Structure formats: C-alpha cells, structure tokens
Amino acid sequence: MGAKKNKPTFTAIIQARMDSSRLPGKAMLPLKGKPMLYHVIERARAIHEAGIIVLATCPGDENASMIELADSMKIGTFVGSSENVLERYYMAAEKFGGDYIIRITGDNPFTDPVYASVAAKIAEETKADLCSIKDLPLGVAVEIIKKEALEKAYTMSRMQHQLEHVSPYIKENPDMFKIVRHAVSLNNPFETLRLTVDTGEDYTLAKIIYDDLYKGFPIPLQSIIDFFIENPHLADINSGVHQRPMTHSSNG
C-alpha cells in the first residue's frame, strides 16, 4: 500500500494599496458599514481551500489603515514593492508558503468563494500552473497559480507590464506553462457586467448592491445576478467604464 499523498496547500494573497489613480483610497471606502477590504477578506476566508490569507501591500503611511484592518481580522500581512507587484506576490508567497497561490485583488468585493474553490480543485486535479474560471463577470474570478510557476515568472519576467502585474508572463508563454481555463454554466444575461471597483461609477454600483443584498455574509453570485435581472437599468451605471489592459500600469 503506497504512502498517502499530502494535499496541496493554498495561500490567498490579496494585493491592495491606497493610492489608486482612478479612485484613491478605494480599499477603505465603506460598503454597508464596513471597508471594502473587509468584504474582500471575508470572501477570501470563505474559500474552502484557502488555509492562509495574506494582505500584500506597499510601504507608506497611507496603507497603515489597511494593515490595521488585516491585523484586526487576524490575517497575515506583507509589505513589499510598490511598483513590482510580481515581486511583492512572490516574496509574500515565500514568507507564508503554499503550493498554490490564490490571487485576489483588493478592488474586487464580489470575489466569488464558490468559483474560487472550484478553480482550486481543478488546479489540483489537472496540476495546472495557472487556473481560472472563464466567462464570469469582471471582478468575480480569481487566479490559482502554482508556486513553481510564480517563481519562474518572477525569475524570467523582464518587461514592465510583467512586473506590474502577476500573471502576464505565464499567460504570454503557454508553451512553458499549463494553463487551464474552466467553463461553467451560469445564468447571467449581462455579458459585460462589471463587478469590480475601479472608478466612482463602479463604487456607486457596488454600494447599491451591498445596501440591498448584504446580510452579514458573502452575497452569492447568483443573488447578485438575479438582482440585476430584476433591476436591469443598474448595469448601465458603470457600463461606460473602460477596463485597462494588463499592459497598463497597475495600482494593485
């Protein structure tokens, strides 16, 4: 009888900083009486596989309130490079460990823990270097990155956009990495729905959703979509916001 294999470990790393160019201080803006980052952390905690949760931020007094919040919620914190987000992620992963990293951004208060768990399971089953769920609304999905792939990206990345984000090098080299994008069936008639917070319009929409649906625990994604089905005009609030490409400078 062979030895039982140890289950891989997953560490959720949330990237956030206060000096966002389009909506400064957004991580601490209130949603139903709690800072946005509180909800991001709460949703990360709801990911079944996430054994460790870490806030990865930057030096600067402006980020102190986020670190205080992370401390109060008893999650890890890491302070690293402001501009080289890939280095910040890699160093945080080195400090806190984990066979896989669950990449979460601090401007996504609708990160879905159920689909994140699905992605984690698929990454484990397929031994993917990078795994994500496709066709979810913007701001809902996470990326699962194998630690070895993150290390290779950190070692090999040279271009500015590869350093200012976390996964471009992996995505740009599919011959070197196993990339799995898993399709799911989701009843969502709003193909261009934005559930991220980059701008004032995004925040206005997030506030409406939280004010109506948040009851003290993560709002299920289908409940959010059903809310839009009942109130389709709400999708227009931030429909004109242009999403910046991964080649653009990051504020994470």
Helix, strand, coil percent values for the chain (each to nearest 5): 40, 15, 45
187 closest CA partner among 216, 218, 223, 144: 223
For residue 244, the model assigns a pLDDT of 64
Measure CA of the first residue to CA of the last residue in the chain; give whole Å: 47
The chain-wide mean pLDDT, for the chain, equals 93
Residue with tokens 């299920």: 220
Beta-carbon contacts of residue 174 (< 8 Å; ≥ 6 apart): none
CATH of domain 10-187: 3.90.550.10
107 closest CA partner among 217, 238, 225, 9: 238
For residue 162, the model assigns a pLDDT of 78
- Tell me the per-residue pLDDT of 2-51, one tens digit each, with 9 for 90 and over: 555 689 999 999 999 998 878 999 999 999 999 999 999 999 999 999 99
Could you tell me the pLDDT band of residue 251, with boundaries at 50, 70 and 90?
Answer: very low
Residue 249 pLDDT greater than 60, yes or no: no
Residue 118 in tokens: 């699905």
- Tell me the per-residue pLDDT of 207-244, one tens digit each, with 9 for 90 and over: 999 999 999 999 999 999 999 999 999 999 999 998 76
CA distance 64 to 73: 14
Our measurement of the distance from residue 34's CA atom to the centroid of its chain's CA atoms, rounded to an integer in Å, reads 18
Domain boundaries defined on the chain: 10-187
